[in-house]
């Protein structure tokens, strides 16, 4: 992950993203840019599995919309983040959410999944999860593949650690959604 110290505006970030579709950018709350390294085949497979299981449940139950790691969410603190998988309930989606194809979603997701890849720092991922929570994400799963465990972050500030054999659930945020953690490890 490379951090660039110049302040990047929304328009500049959009332009850079369109001109460099092979790269994934995030912006910190202070306006600095971060480039995210491409994931390898194992991380990519884990991301698509997480998104697919979530999508199947959300679609079958008409709960809202699911987004992949290429979606960008503008958080209230002005950071722009791209979780590995994200869910927004249909009640919270703006009426015109699907009109601007390359635009950011100007709201925090209700639920996110972040999966630690080989190049990720656990400390930075934990900070990102706290940022999500502080900016309105109701539930977040941090899947720590290296230590075969997960951490579940909740809006109330609680964090629960789960072992590899746990069944994670969407609690009241994604009602009825469950997933065996081992599927993503």
Q: Which helix (H) or strand (E) holds 34?
A: strand 33-36
Q: Which of 112, 66, 64, 67 is nearest to 89 (CA)?
A: 64
DSSP 8-state code for residue 38:
P
In b/e form, how buried is each residue of 140-154, taking b as 16+ CB within 10 angstroms? Answer: bbbbbbeeebbbbbb
Percent of the residues in the chain that have a pLDDT greater than 90, as a whole number: 64
Could you tell me if 64 and 27 are in contact, meaning their C-beta atoms sit under 8 angstroms apart?
Answer: no
On the question of pLDDT at 154 being above 90, the answer is: yes
pLDDT at 1 exceeding the cut of 60 = no
Q: Which CATH superfamily is domain 39-184 in?
A: tt1808, chain A (3.90.1570.10)
99-152: per-residue pLDDT in tens?
766 678 899 999 999 999 888 899 999 999 999 999 999 999 999 999 999 999
Tell me what pLDDT residue 101 has: 63
Token code pair at residue 176: 């009825």
H/E stretch holding 67 reads strand 64-68
Whether 168 contacts 152, CB under 8 Å: yes
Residue 45 has pLDDT above 80, yes or no: yes
- Domain positions in the chain are 39-184
pLDDT digits (tens, 9 = 90+) for 27-36: 889 888 777 7
């Amino acid at each position: 992950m490379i951090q660039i110290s110049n302040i990047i505006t929304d328009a500049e970030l959009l332009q850079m993203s369109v001109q460099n579709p092979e790269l994934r950018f995030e912006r910190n709350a202070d306006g600095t840019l971060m480039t995210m390294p491409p994931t390898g085949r194992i991380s990519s497979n884990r991301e698509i599995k997480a998104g697919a299981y979530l999508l199947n449940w959300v679609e079958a139950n008409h709960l809202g919309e699911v987004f992949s790691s290429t979606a960008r969410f503008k958080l209230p603190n002005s950071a722009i983040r791209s979780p590995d998988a994200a869910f927004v309930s249909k009640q919270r989606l703006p009426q015109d959410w699907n009109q601007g194809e390359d635009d950011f979603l100007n709201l925090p997701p209700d639920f996110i999944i972040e999966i630690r890849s080989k190049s990720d720092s656990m400390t930075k991922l934990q900070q990102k999860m706290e940022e999500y929570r502080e900016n309105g994400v109701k539930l977040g799963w941090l899947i720590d593949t290296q230590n075969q465990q997960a951490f579940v972050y909740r809006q109330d500030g609680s964090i629960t650690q789960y072992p590899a054999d746990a069944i994670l659930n969407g609690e009241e945020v994604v009602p009825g959604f469950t997933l065996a953690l081992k599927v993503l490890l």
